[in-house]
Structure 1
Amino acid sequence: MECKASGVLDTTKDESALTSLQERLSCISGEHLAPFKQLEILLLGPSYTSNTKGPELRLVQQLKEPDTAQHKKGSSAWKVRHEGMPLRGKGAADLPATVRVVAESSCSGADIIGFWAALGFQRRYSMVKEGFCVSCYLDDHFVHVAVVRVCKEGTGGAAGEQVAPGCWLVEATTAATEGQHAAAAGAIGKLAELLEPLVVLQKQ
């Protein structure tokens, strides 16, 4: 299972807000912030319609400099994610993070996008997330934090036009075993408290 909360850091009026967030995260984690860059593609399954939702897959590829994604040519490695519906009910509603079952696997090859297209999946959108990340150990859980600019995919997987200039997406995630998701979500809630008022993390 995965617990997740996200927020938006707006630097259009105060560019120093990003530096303040970086310093806060470094203080909480005790670690250096690491560069983060990935290509993300959402695929809709062959049975997907506007009235009946079919399976959705999220393909994720870690990118390295220079700005070239390998899915255009040569072999490449991708993470394949299937995200279930959010946990519902009174107990879930009171949690500070969204909880859902996530299944992950890996695939590699010369044309991964073409492979899924041959199975009937269609690309809905693609984007490049670029920024930094760090892991914070809180309440016996490692919470992974990514602070990124969300950009359209440019030529060859490069980061293109920014979707919301001046705004940074802040995502906090942690893994949880079945029956322990409340404690894991609580760790994200603790992080949210530590990051306020710089950014407000909320369940999706």
Structure 2
Amino acid sequence: MQAPAAAPSGGKPSAPAGSFKVQCVGLVKTDPTAGSANPVLNVLRGMCSRYETFERVEYGFTAPLQSGTSSVTLRLFRHKPPKVNSSNPFAPPPPAMWTLVHESTPMRGPVYATLPATVREVAESNLYTYDGLAFVEAMGARVEYAVQKNGNYYICHHQGLEIQVERVGGPGPEVVVYSVAALARGRQVTNLTGKHWMLEATADAAAERQVEVARLMGSFAERLLPHVELKKPM
């Protein structure tokens, strides 16, 4: 296993410690006869500046704190590796890019209880390694689940919502529509979403904009009715 290197200057950078993520989720029923004409996808395409397909493996971990009295939850994503042309057919594959994410439990309090979306504090780092799973396990974390996600993500615009304060990413909320399959050490075993698609809408926010962005996310969710009802994940 190769030790992780620093993330490159190009691509999607990591969220710095202390940034916040606003999120709501929902289930979309699929019509096998509709193909790409799924109504909610058409709505999203009309609102987005770009969209792309993706394939991603996700691992969920629990990791003990140094005190040993409690633990934290982590998520690890393996991104689909880029195609590399090599003159040596026996050359080993290049290290893959992984993203390690820590999300806090949902923010609590009277203000947060009335918001239409969940607010969490987020920190993430990019890793370049041949086996990110073994790297995180070596730090004492234990795998809780493993899934593969396949679908599309959309960078949308809504009522001037442009989240560029803490993170140099695409403007507006990011919407991800995907199916989920459970994995057993990389082997697909079962489809978890069946004839449905998961839809996640997230937006980054600075500390002083948490409430504002969460309320804008609520009005964004209203635009996707009646095709999908987005709710706060617990």
Q: CA RMSD in A?
A: 2.5
Give the gaps of 5 or more residues in structure 2. Answer: 1-19, 84-92, 162-171
* Aligned twin of 1:181: 210
* Aligned twin of 2:181: 151
Cα gap change, 1:64 to 1:105, in 2 (>3 Å)? closer
Say which one has the larger Rg.
2
**Letter of the aligned partner of 2:79 in structure 1?**
Q
Cα gap change, 1:37 to 1:110, in 2 (>3 Å)? closer
Q: Percent identity?
A: 28
Whether 2:123 is the aligned partner of 1:103: answer yes
Cα gap change, 1:202 to 1:144, in 2 (>3 Å)? same
Whether 2:208 is the aligned partner of 1:190: answer no
* Aligned twin of 1:60: 77
Cα gap change, 1:93 to 1:119, in 2 (>3 Å)? same
Counterparts of 1:104 and 1:53, CA distance in 2 = 20
Following TM superposition, where does structure 1 have runs of at least 4 consecutive aligned residues deviating by more than 2 angstroms? 14-18, 157-161
Q: CA deviation at 1:187?
A: 2.2
**Letter of the aligned partner of 1:163 in structure 2?**
L
Q: Pick the aligned partner of 1:122 from 117, 142, 155.
A: 142
Q: Which shows bigger deviation, 17-26 or 80-89?
A: 17-26
Cα gap change, 1:111 to 1:64, in 2 (>3 Å)? closer
Q: CA deviation at 1:74?
A: 5.0
1:93-120 per-residue CA deviation (whole Å, 9 max, x = no partner) reads: 1111000100111112223221221221
Counterpart secondary structure, 2:71: coil
Counterparts of 1:173 and 1:15, CA distance in 2 = 29
TM-score by length of 2: 0.74
Q: Report the number of matched residues.
A: 192
Give the gaps of 5 or more residues in structure 1. Answer: 67-72
Structure having the larger proportion of residues in helix: 1
TM-score by length of 1: 0.84
Q: CA deviation at 1:122?
A: 1.1
